[in-house]
Copies of this chain bind each other. A is one copy, B any other.
Amino acid sequence: MKKDPRFQPVDAAVTPRFAGIATFMRTQRHDVSPELDIALVGVPFDIGVNYRAGARQGPAAVREASRLIRRVHNVSGIAPYDICNVADVGDAPVNPIDLHRSIAMIEEFFAKIHAAGALPLSIGGDHTVPLPILRALAKDRPVGIFHIDSHADTLDTLADTKINHATTFRRGVEEGLIDPKRTIQIGLRGSRFSPDDIKWGEDAGFTCITFEDYERLGRDRVIAKIHEVIGTGPTYMTIDIDGIDPAWAPGTGVPEIGGLTPREVQVMVRSLQGRHLVGGDICEVAPCFDPTGITAVTAANLMWEMLCVLAESKAKRGS
């Protein structure tokens, strides 16, 4: 087990958790480099939305909230900093006004992380963000997707545009980045624009678990389904925070009642231990709608859950 002192988070026994410059989970700030195993990244981009903006401040809020995360997982016992070099590599570059340039800049930044051999774990940004990430990570071979969301994000266009937070996973399939047979979407719900809102993914081969399905199957059978779908191939994790019920995620652009609890998502992410994971993101955290801070706290904790399984995967496989 390596335990590189340059990649250890600030020690809470020495520096209280309220102190110091906020980085993700109090990890060190490092530039992308080959020594890095896991790169924690912010993607402050939210001009792909069609209702409420605000996710550009998501990375800042989650950095601040993630001060309370400690260093050992309470259930799995995974201690990510003992087995991987983890650092906060800062935010992906973006253009605040030009969507297409931003998408290119984000892709380029994640390509650099990928080239360095590190796995990215990021906080968006709106849910357009996985598209440039996957363009960087999955150019060579399509990946499976573990996807928590209340919306399928598989429309063809939104507001007559092709790249936005409602079309991401359709574009991903069309571009050969996503293996639809190894893709599972969980928590789908909410009123619909048309009866066919989620149909495209189903037709393409996605496994779509609506909230009704989730409730009917129960968590254990959903977890079995996740494993059946993603199998042992490379899998990317993406959580739209609006997949979580608004009691825990009011701070998001498009809240939908009747959703998953953080507990459900914690247990699902934990179940990914042992799988081949290639990265992950949490999107749509909009702090300006989060006066209690609960959305940022929830995202910080789910980022921790993802880090633990990602670190184990990386430590085992080296990729």
Residues on A lying within 8 angstroms of B by beta carbon are 12-23, 29, 42, 44, 46-54, 56-57, 59-60, 63-64, 67-75, 77, 79, 88, 90-91, 93-99, 101, 158-161, 164, 188-195, 197, 210-212, 215, 245-248, 250-251, 254-258, 261-263, 266, 288-294, 297-298, 301-302, 304
Contact = CB atoms under 8 A, between A and B. Distances in A.
Q: Nearest 7 A-B pairs (CB), nearest first?
A: A288-B288, A53-B53, A258-B263, A250-B292, A70-B191, A16-B96, A247-B247
- Interface residues of chain A: helix, strand, loop or mixed (majority): loop
Query: How many copies of this kind of chain does the complex include?
Result: 6
B22 A21 contact: yes
Contacts of A97: 47-50, 99, 158-159, 161, 164
Contacts of A57: 18, 52
Contacts of A302: 257
Given A94-B16, A159-B96, A294 B75 contact: no
Contacts of A197: 72, 74
Given A247-B294, A250-B292, A263-B257, A71 B192 contact: yes
